[in-house]
């Protein structure tokens, strides 16, 4: 085609498109404008030869879910197309990933236990989905989200093979966990502040307390590895904030359990410094708090620190018989009974009706619980998850699904042992974040929704790919496609001897 004719055609099409976009914007329809912007930015990023465009999309939803939490999760791309962030990201990333896999630029699935068991778990869920869709319609797809969010594991694992994209995702995690404690402090001091930061009437930042506590604890481990890697003391300030701020959340218990278990993992690997730092941070904070309240002649039992203490001791109060005096504590004993009764109801119903394949996606797992707990007349009760990923998997997918989920967990254990043996700080941070969210998911709605699930599967995919890169470094013709170069194998001199 003659260059002048080609230029004329492009200019004409561009003018027509501009007019269509203008008419759409005047009618408050931004779909065409959004799509055009995405296409243009995509082409620019491809031309720039930096992080891949899909990595920017994944980084955006990662940052959004960590910092924006429940608020960001409810934002739809357009008013005419109610597509939530996680689903919108999958819609854009998956086709692009398929094209790159066809051109053999990336590898999405690896031949290891974690990958194969996760594929089997997803496959079992996908096989039963059509039956549940006929029975329950949209509710089945809504419940199936806890399975299809696992696609983010394979997406992250694939793009971890691209060094620039991997660096972008790690820096996004760092940025998000640096911003999160600042936003959490503002939200605690002025709870209505972010309600005015809205998009189509939906707050961009709105926290679910148990998720906020879990993400803050995850942030502590990630920022701790930034300090261990660089030895810059300023990393300890936001890390300490992430460790202490969960005490201000209404439901910090799952996050506290996760903190203890993941710290024990570090101690089992003979990495003592992290526990010493936690003890020092908590001791200083408690001492300062007690000093301030003694000077102010205030009742220590009415402080947030005492509320945290009551939440900690309530973890062992399975029967809910304890007495709690702090008004911020609520009634954690009753909350324990709430979970035990619900879990028992789901387990009994599943084993009675369909023990092997479960009750299915879309089935109301709360119906029997409401009767057992005396809440049948409660019209405000809308929760669908029994506040435990393990119980949800059993209820939805039966013993077969639970067995495969435990196989995935076994793959995580093997991955964790490999990463602690290698000692790369980036991977230590990633796997620690994954375990904090997994453990929190055993006691709350963390992995069934995108706020925790997208972060969990993404960091787990990055960790798994990074651990393989440590064992078998690959040299690619394109430096951007080589294994990330910023993985540090060497440990500080004073810890080499203590490493497993």
What is the CB neighbour count within 10 angstroms for residue 163? 21
**pTM for the whole thing?**
0.87
Q: What is the pLDDT of residue 141?
A: 93
Q: What residue ranges do the domains of the chain occupy?
A: 47-496
Q: Select from 426, 454, 452, 427 the least CA-distant residue to 441.
A: 452
The string of pLDDT tens digits covering residues 33-58 is 777 777 777 778 778 778 999 999 99
What pLDDT is stored for residue 314 in this prediction?
74
Q: CA Rg, the chain, in Å?
A: 24
CA of 469: how far to CAs of 119, 208, 434, 451, in Å? 21, 36, 19, 28
Q: Would you give per-residue pLDDT tens digits along the chain (500 residues)?
A: 667 776 777 677 767 767 666 666 666 566 667 777 777 777 787 787 789 999 999 999 999 999 999 999 988 866 666 788 999 999 999 999 999 998 888 888 999 999 999 999 999 999 999 999 999 998 999 999 999 999 999 999 999 989 999 999 999 999 999 999 999 999 988 888 888 888 777 888 999 888 999 999 999 999 999 999 988 999 999 999 999 998 887 788 899 999 999 999 999 999 999 999 999 999 998 888 778 777 766 666 666 667 777 777 777 766 666 667 666 666 676 777 888 888 999 999 999 999 999 999 999 888 888 777 666 555 555 667 888 999 999 999 999 999 999 999 999 999 999 999 998 889 999 999 999 999 999 998 899 999 999 999 999 999 999 887 666 444 343 444 444 444 433 333 333 333 33
Handedness of CA 294, 297, 301, 303 (dihedral sign): negative
Residue pair 68/205 in contact by the 8 Å Cβ criterion = yes
- For residue 120, give both structure tokens: 């089997």
| Nearest alpha carbon to residue 117 among 361, 388, 412 | 412
Mean residue pLDDT of the chain comes to 84
């Amino acid at each position: 085609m003659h260059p002048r004719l080609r230029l004329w055609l492009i200019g004409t099409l561009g003018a027509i498109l501009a007019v269509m976009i203008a008419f759409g914007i005047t009618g408050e329809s931004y779909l065409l404008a959004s799509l055009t912007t995405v296409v243009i930015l995509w082409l620019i990023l491809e031309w720039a030869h930096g992080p891949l465009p899909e990595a920017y999309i994944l980084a955006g939803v990662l940052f959004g879910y960590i910092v924006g939490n429940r608020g960001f999760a409810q934002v739809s791309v357009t008013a005419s197309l109610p597509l939530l962030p996680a689903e919108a990201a999958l819609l854009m990333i998956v086709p692009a990933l398929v094209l790159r896999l066809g051109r053999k630029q990336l590898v999405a699935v690896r031949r290891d236990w974690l990958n194969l068991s996760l594929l089997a778990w997803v496959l079992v869920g996908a096989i039963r989905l059509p039956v549940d869709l006929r029975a329950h319609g949209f509710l089945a797809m809504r419940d199936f989200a806890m399975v299809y969010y696992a696609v983010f594991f394979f997406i992250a694992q694939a793009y971890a093979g691209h060094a620039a994209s991997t660096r972008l995702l790690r820096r996004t995690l760092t940025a998000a966990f640096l911003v999160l404690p600042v936003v959490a402090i503002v939200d605690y001091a002025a709870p209505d502040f972010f309600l005015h930061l809205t998009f189509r009437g939906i707050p961009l930042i709105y926290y679910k307390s148990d998720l906020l506590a879990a993400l803050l604890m995850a942030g502590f481990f990630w920022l701790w590895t930034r300090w261990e890697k660089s030895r810059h003391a300023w990393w300890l300030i936001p890390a300490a904030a992430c460790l202490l701020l969960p005490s201000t959340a209404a439901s910090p218990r799952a996050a506290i359990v996760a903190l203890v278990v993941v710290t024990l993992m570090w101690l089992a690997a003979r990495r003592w410094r992290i526990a010493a730092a936690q003890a020092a941070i908590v001791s200083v904070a408690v001492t300062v708090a007690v000093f301030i309240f003694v000077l102010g002649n205030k009742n220590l039992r009415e402080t947030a620190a005492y509320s945290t203490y009551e939440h900690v001791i309530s973890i062992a109060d399975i029967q809910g018989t304890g007495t709690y005096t702090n008004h911020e504590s609520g009634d954690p004993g009753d909350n324990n009974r709430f979970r035990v009764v619900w879990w028992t109801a789901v387990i009994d119903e599943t084993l009675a009706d369909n023990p092997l394949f479960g009750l299915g996606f879309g089935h109301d797992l709360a119906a029997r619980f409401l009767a057992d707990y005396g809440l049948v007349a409660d019209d405000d009760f809308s929760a669908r998850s029994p506040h435990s990923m393990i119980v949800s998997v059993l209820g939805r997918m039966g013993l077969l699904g639970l067995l495969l989920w435990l196989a995935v967990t076994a793959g995580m254990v093997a991955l964790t042992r490999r990463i602690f043996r290698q000692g790369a700080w980036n991977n230590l941070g990633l796997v620690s974040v994954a375990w904090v969210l997994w453990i929190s998911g055993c006691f709350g709605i963390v992995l069934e929704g995108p706020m925790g699930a997208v972060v969990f599967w993404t960091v787990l995919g990055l960790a798994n790919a990074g651990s393989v890169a440590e064992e078998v470094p690959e040299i690619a013709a394109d430096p951007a496609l080589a294994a990330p170069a910023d993985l540090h194998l060497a440990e500080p001199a004073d810890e080499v001897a203590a490493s497993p």
